[in-house]
Structure 1
Amino acid sequence: MPLVREILARVFVDDLDRALPTYVNLSGGAEPRIFEFRAVRLAWIGSFLLLQVPPDQRAAYDRVATVLVENIKLAQSIVESGGGAVLEGPADGPNGPRMIARHADGSVFEYIQPGAG
């Protein structure tokens, strides 16, 4: 079984409620999961993760993508053995254990193990 389940495109929006209908329709009518994490309102819809972040905090949430994995500890091991570094976590999050990692090439990703929290 592959480690990566799915990759979510991270989309910054100014108004989550106004953006929702477009992404719901693009996802075939999928029901969005709306939640909050720190000062951010989020909606997970199909393969999209919408983020309504206060403008002065956007840089803190700038990631290439959110990667859903089967095993967060294995993802951590792979990142670190490849010369990358964990910047935050692994720690409990609203959708399961999560971490922020910088790969050896400098790319920063959020990793989540859904349903394991």
Structure 2
Amino acid sequence: MSSNIRAMIANVEVENLDAAIPFYRELAGDVEVRRFPYQELELALVGPFLLYSGPLDNYVSQTATVLVDSLDSVLDALGKAGAELLEEPNEVPNGTRIVARHPDGSVFEYMQPRS
């Protein structure tokens, strides 16, 4: 059986993306930095780090972003475990995402990237 999980990305809240990106790029190596907006937030994907900045009062803090091959498998597992779906599947710049609170209280974003 192969894993549905492709990768995990650490979510990091920063005050200033421009100031934070050089440090995280140094940590990640010579990686491409992808900047993009999401609602009122500004985000930057720097290797395994997802930096975000902006008015965070309207957002639930997330432990990490989990990149998966199939959100259907995740939704099935979350349902069986009694997890709480905080955000239904929705299209975002990088693919389709959900946000769920696990039975232990931790919150994860699950992302099925565009092919």
Q: State whether TM-score is above 0.5.
A: yes
CA RMSD of superposed structures (Å): 1.2
Shift of 1:61: 3.8
Deviations 1:16-60 (CA, angstroms, capped at 9, x unpaired): 011111111111110111000000000011110000122xx2461
Residue 53 of structure 2 aligns with an amino acid whose one-letter code is Q
Q: Secondary structure at the match of 1:97?
A: strand
- Paired with 1:14 and 1:81, the residues of 2 have a C-alpha distance of 38
Return structure 1 stretches of 4+ with deviation > 4 angstroms: none
Alignment correspondent of 2:106: 107
Unaligned runs of 5+ in 1: none
Identity of aligned residues (%): 40
The match for 2:94 is 95
Taking the aligned partners of 1:82 and 1:31, their CA distance within structure 2 comes to 37
Gaps of 5+ in 2: none
Size of the aligned set, in residue pairs, is 114
Q: 2: CA distance between counterparts of 1:9 and 1:2?
A: 19
Q: Which residue of 2 aligns with 1:18?
A: 19
**TM-score scaled by length of structure 1:** 0.91
Q: TM-score, normalised by structure 2?
A: 0.93
